[in-house]
Structure 1
Amino acid sequence: MLGNNFIIIPSIRSMKDFEHALSAESKYVFLSEIHIGNLKVMVEKCHSSNKLVVVNIELIGGFSADQVGLKLLKSFYNVDAVLSSNAMKINIAKSLGFKTVQRFFLMDSRSFDSTLKSLQTTKNDAVEILPGPIAPQFIDAIKKVRNVPMIAGGFVSTKDMVKELYKAGFSGVTSSTRDLWKLKLTTK
């Protein structure tokens, strides 16, 4: 899903950042906190800027992330990919033809064990690990269970942190920090 180059994906939490994301280096835009009423126009603008749209189905205001809602995202809103922490919803989205990113919050050893179990049964195309600052210590164990592109997100706010995640082997990061969206990394 992500390709071979490390990417910094704009994560849009506010409409004031949306236009800036359209000029970012990444071919993806993560719409993290949006309202269903704005989604169609935002997707159209992303597509006209040659961006693929990934929506966090758990953070779309006015939307139900059931099978009918997911079908609407595909057929009416023309969303390219979905992000969710719910394994069942990821599998449903995958069966509907979406590219999928499964999000994991690593808070303690129990959440890490749950992550490893979920990876065995979920049909995701990529994985996002949060929070970003601790993600490098888990990448090898996760890749042993499921070797898919991995991105880190959450608290990714400095160039040094992006470089550390790049060196750790991540395929990319998600960040709401605009200053990072045009950053290019060339060496590991």
Structure 2
Amino acid sequence: MFDKFKIIPSIRRLKELNVALNSKPDILLLSEVHIGNLPALTSMCHEKNKLVLVNIDMIGGISGDQMGIKLLKDLFKVDGVMSASTMKVNIAKSLGLYTIQRFFLIDSRSYETSLKSLKTSKVDAIEVLPAPMAPHFVKEIRNVKDIPLLAGGFIKDKDTLNSIREAGFDGVTTSERNLWSIENKTK
């Protein structure tokens, strides 16, 4: 999935979906959805050959337990999930979904806890937030587990995007529409 540096549009408002559907990226993150609109949104994305990721922690109307995650896969046809919860991403992985675990750089304690959970996690990738702080932690994270790294949060311009890329990240998630059309470059 990360053979090139990926810019993953994070769709926070439905009016942004059409722009994302017609953008270059082949993966979309439906950040704030509910079960009432998820089947139609997933179908629209798949019709445009886009993979669909959802943030389990922010989906309205569904639980993040095994049955809820199974519904996301079987009924709502999502391709992958992201969550800050190791338990949720491990359940999703066991059900065959692509998984991204979110790490929030709040303080040293939360960071250390994230690294510990990474050791037992079966995730496919990690998203480190906020992006401007993420480059400081690349080496330590890769020492624990060498998997694709994404950065997210506060990516407002090309300079921030380029600093993330140069730090060795495999991609970003961003709600900044003006960044969605930037060409994904080979790493």
TM range (shorter): over 0.9
Q: What is the TM-score when the length of structure 1 is the normalising length?
A: 0.97
Give the percent of matched residue pairs that are identical in Structure 1 and Structure 2: 52
Q: Aligned equivalents of 2:124 and 2:27: distance in 1?
A: 14
Q: Aligned equivalents of 1:31 and 1:184: distance in 2?
A: 21
Give the AA of the match of 2:77.
Answer: N
Q: Aligned equivalents of 1:148 and 1:93: distance in 2?
A: 17
- 1:26, CA displacement in angstroms? 1.3
Q: Secondary structure at the match of 2:37?
A: helix
Give the AA of the match of 2:2.
Answer: G
Corresponding residue for residue 84 of structure 1: 83
Q: Secondary structure at the match of 2:132?
A: helix
* Structure 1 residue runs of 4 or more that deviate by more than 3 Å after TM superposition: 185-188
- 1:7, CA displacement in angstroms? 1.1
Corresponding residue for residue 102 of structure 1: 101
Corresponding residue for residue 18 of structure 1: 17
Corresponding residue for residue 112 of structure 2: 113
The change in CA–CA distance for 1:37 and 1:168 in structure 2 (over 3 A counts) is same
- 1:18, CA displacement in angstroms? 0.7
- 1:184, CA displacement in angstroms? 2.0
- CA contact under 8 A between 1:80 and 1:99: conserved in structure 2? yes
Give the AA of the match of 1:138.
Answer: F
- CA contact under 8 A between 1:74 and 1:98: conserved in structure 2? yes
Give the alignment's Cα RMSD to 1 decimal.
1.2
Corresponding residue for residue 27 of structure 1: 26
- 1:16, CA displacement in angstroms? 0.9
The change in CA–CA distance for 1:60 and 1:167 in structure 2 (over 3 A counts) is same
Does 1:153 pair with 2:152? yes
Q: Secondary structure at the match of 1:25?
A: coil
Q: Aligned equivalents of 1:21 and 1:64: distance in 2?
A: 27
Q: Secondary structure at the match of 1:62?
A: coil
Corresponding residue for residue 55 of structure 2: 56
Corresponding residue for residue 70 of structure 1: 69
User: What are the residue-to-residue correspondences of 1:137-152 with 2, within 5 Å?
Assistant: 137-152=136-151
Does 1:178 pair with 2:177? yes
User: What are the residue-to-residue correspondences of 1:162-173 with 2, within 5 Å?
Assistant: 162-173=161-172
- 1:6, CA displacement in angstroms? 0.5
Give the AA of the match of 2:40.
Answer: V
Corresponding residue for residue 123 of structure 1: 122
Does 1:4 pair with 2:3? yes
Q: What is the TM-score when the length of structure 2 is the normalising length?
A: 0.97
- CA contact under 8 A between 2:3 and 2:186: conserved in structure 1? no
